[in-house]
Amino acid sequence: MFFKIIAKDEVPDLVRGIATEYEVIGPQAKGTAFVFAPLKDPADLRLDYDMTILPAKRYILPERETLMRFSVEDNEVVEAELDAPRRALFGLHPCDVNSLLLMDNVFLDGGDPDPYYKARRENTLIIGVSCMPAPTCFCDAWGTDETHRGFDIFLTDIGDSYYASISSVRGADLVDRFAKGRDITAEDTAAFQERSAAFKAAFEHEIDTSQLPVLLDAKYDSPIWQEFGEMCLACGACSTVCPTCYCFDVHDELDADQKHGERVRTWDSCQFKDFAGVAHGNFRDSRASRVRYRYYHKQWGYLSRYEKVLCVGCGRCTRACKADINPPRVVRALQTGVVDR
C-alpha cells in the first residue's frame, strides 16, 4: 500500500476519468435517504452520506440473474452467458468493503468458486471512503470499522483533502492519470491518525459481543427467541438490506412457447416460511426458529467456517426492521436473557 493526498476539488476529475473506463456507481441522495446508483454527474456524488438503504452487493450478486438459458425438450443448456461489466463502486464505507470480503469467503472459496460472482468481482473497482458513525452503526463491535484490503483506493477525509490509501496497480494507475495528488507528509499522517481516533471515539453504544457462539448454543432454548419470533413479521427486509446475506434461490422460468426458458437465481431469505421446507415438511416452520437461525448462522455458523461473524455492523437492518429486531438488541438479549423494551 502507498499513499497520496488528493484534494477534495480533484475528486470530480477523478470520477470523470474513471467513468471513461468503468460504469461508476456511487452514493447519491434520494428523498431523505441515500442510495447507491449509477452516477450521471460527479456533482451528484455524496461522499458525506451516512448510510444507503441497500448495500452495493447487488452489483456483485444481483437480486435476479440468469444462470443459463435452456431447451426443455433435450434438457440442454443453450447459452450460459454472464454479465460482468467493468464497474467502479465509488464511496463504500469500511463496513461495506468488509462485507464483500465476507461474501468472497463463500463465493470464491476453495473447490467450487461461483463463476458469476467471481467474474463480476474481478471486474469491479472498489473505492472506499471514510465515514463518521451514525446512531445505528456498530461496526466497531466486530472490528469491521477498519479495512486494510479489499479496495483499490481508500479515501480518508482529512479536511480539505483525502488521505488516499492505494492498494492495487489499477488503483495506482487511475490516481496517476486522473488526479494530480501529491505525496504525503508527516503532518498528513498525523491528520489521518487524528481523524481515525475521532471516528473511533464517536461511537455512542458499546455492545458486549463476548462468547456469542457459546451463548447461542447454551441459550438455544431461551424464551427470548419466542419473544423475537412473536415480534418478527417474516418480511425478509433484514436479509434484503444486509450486505452479507448471500442466500439465494434458483428456479426455472419458461418462455411463452414453453420450449425454452432460463434458470434464474434470486435473493432469498431464511426468514421466509418455506426456506427450509422439504417434500414432507418444514424444518423451520415457526418464526421464532427462523429468527434464531438468522442469528445462529451469522454469529456462529459462518464463524465456525471462516473465523468471523457474518455481520459488519452497518445498521441497515436496524433501520429496515419494522419490528425493531436488530443485532445490538438480540445480542443484548442473549447476554442478559431478557429482551429489552
Binding residues for another protein, rule: CB under 8 A, are: 23, 67-68, 70-72, 74-77, 80-86, 106-107, 109, 111-112, 114-115, 119, 123, 213, 217, 220, 246-252, 254, 258, 261, 263, 268, 270, 275-281, 283-284, 289, 293, 296-297, 300-301, 303-304
Q: Least separation, in Å, of the C-beta of 248 and another protein?
A: 5
> What are the grid coordinates assigned to 178, written together?
486522473
Q: Least separation, in Å, of the C-beta of 124 and another protein?
A: 12
280 or 341: CB nearest another protein: 280
* CA 268/CA 240 separation, integer angstroms: 8
CA quadruple 86, 94, 234, 31: dihedral sign: negative
105 or 168: CB nearest another protein: 105
Contacts 24+ apart (CB under 8 A), 282-286: 286/229
* CA 10/CA 164 separation, integer angstroms: 12
The residue behind cell 422439504 is 278
Q: Least separation, in Å, of the C-beta of 66 and another protein?
A: 11
- Using DSSP, state whether 59 is helix, strand or coil: helix
192 or 302: CB nearest another protein: 302
Q: Least separation, in Å, of the C-beta of 107 and another protein?
A: 7
**CB-count burial class (<10 Å; 0-12, 13-18, 19+) for 330:** buried
251 or 341: CB nearest another protein: 251
Whether 287 and 275 have beta carbons less than 8 Å apart is answered as: no
Q: Least separation, in Å, of the C-beta of 254 and another protein?
A: 6
**CB-count burial class (<10 Å; 0-12, 13-18, 19+) for 289:** middle
8 or 69: CB nearest another protein: 69
Q: Least separation, in Å, of the C-beta of 85 and another protein?
A: 4
105 or 196: CB nearest another protein: 105
Q: Least separation, in Å, of the C-beta of 251 and another protein?
A: 6
Q: Least separation, in Å, of the C-beta of 192 and another protein?
A: 36
> What are the grid coordinates assigned to 93, written together?
464505507
Contacts of 316 (CB under 8 A, 6+ apart): 51, 52, 53, 54, 55, 241, 242, 243
* CA 241/CA 140 separation, integer angstroms: 19
3 or 306: CB nearest another protein: 306
62 or 301: CB nearest another protein: 301
> What are the grid coordinates assigned to 285, written together?
416452520
Q: How far is CA 169 from CA 151, 172, 243, in A?
A: 11, 5, 26
